[in-house]
Amino acid sequence: MKKVALLGAAAIAYALAAWMVAPGFYDGFGPPAPYNWTCPPAQAGANSSPSAGHLTIKVIDGVSDANSAFTDDGQLVIGFLPGAFVVDGKTSINVDITPNGSCPKPAGLEFVTNIYDVTATAAIDPQKPANLVLRYSNLLPDPSTIYTASDANGPWSAMARSQPGQPFTIETRTTRVGYFAAGYPASSPPPGAVRVGGSQLLPIIAAVLIVVVVLAGLPLAVMRRRRR
């Protein structure tokens, strides 16, 4: 009886400890990819504010230098080729990245990253597109597309996706600055490879386990009681 009580207490202690962090017990494959949210989803747990980024690109002999602007937390990186900007006599170009805190939910789209506002003091040369990388969290379904808009409230347009790079990142090439976010069409199921477990199946798995344990456990308990 004492052992059962100890096990019960340990199960309750685990439930409390796991409740405080999402998703609770998580093992073997690294923790959830850390992500700083402007509007954290319910399962995100403790959250830090996302960082902004700033870069000053030198213009040497009328050609802007190659460089990358990024947020301090690395959630957005935008790389510029040499001469990527139409400099128009400027001696330097400032690029700023700011996470947008308004978290709009455009119809027909599900964003799984923050929305970032990327501004530059010069236009990008259409012949030399910049490479834009957005990191995403594995707390939400993988994004299929990076979307861009000139206003945070839309309209949003899908961008062609580049070859996948690092895990939990999505890339595209852009010839303009503006608002960027990664997501997928709300009408389609979340994209991604074939999966096992997780996702919306989790409550069902837990429920099935409980039902099986109860249904199989009751007859076993009755049989043991009869044997005594």
Partner 1 sequence: MIASVQARTAARAGLLTLFILAAEWSRVLLAQRPGLALVALLVGGAALCASALGFPAERLGLGTSRFGLRVLGGLALGAVLLLPAAVRASTVPLLPAGFAVGAVAVSIGEEIAFRGALFAALEDLGGAPLAIVGSTLLWTLAHVMSHPPEFLGAVAAAGLLLALWRWACKDLVAPILGHVIADLAL
For residue 25, give the 3-state DSSP assignment. Answer: coil
Tokens of 123: 């236009």
If one asks whether residue 42 binds partner 1 (CB under 8 A), the answer comes out as yes
d(CA 172, CA 143): 12
> Of 45 and 83, which CB lies nearer to partner 1 in the complex structure?
45
If one asks whether residue 222 binds partner 1 (CB under 8 A), the answer comes out as no
Least separation in angstroms between CB 200 and partner 1: 5
> Of 160 and 196, which CB lies nearer to partner 1 in the complex structure?
196
If one asks whether residue 22 binds partner 1 (CB under 8 A), the answer comes out as yes
If one asks whether residue 129 binds partner 1 (CB under 8 A), the answer comes out as no
Least separation in angstroms between CB 155 and partner 1: 27
d(CA 120, CA 94): 6
Q: Which residue has the tokens 């996470």?
A: 99
For residue 93, give the 3-state DSSP assignment. Answer: strand
Tokens of 163: 């070859």
- Tell me, what amino acid is at 165? G
The span of 56-64, 94-102, 179-187, 207-215 binding partner 1 (CB under 8 A) equals 207-215
Tokens of 189: 């199921």
Least separation in angstroms between CB 176 and partner 1: 31
Q: Report the b/e string of 168-184 with b at 16+ CB within 10 A.
A: ebbbbebeebbbbbbbb
User: Which residue ranges make up the site for partner 1 (CB under 8 A)?
Assistant: 3-4, 6-7, 10-11, 13-32, 34, 41-43, 45-46, 138-142, 166, 192-203, 205-207, 209-210, 212-213, 216-217, 220
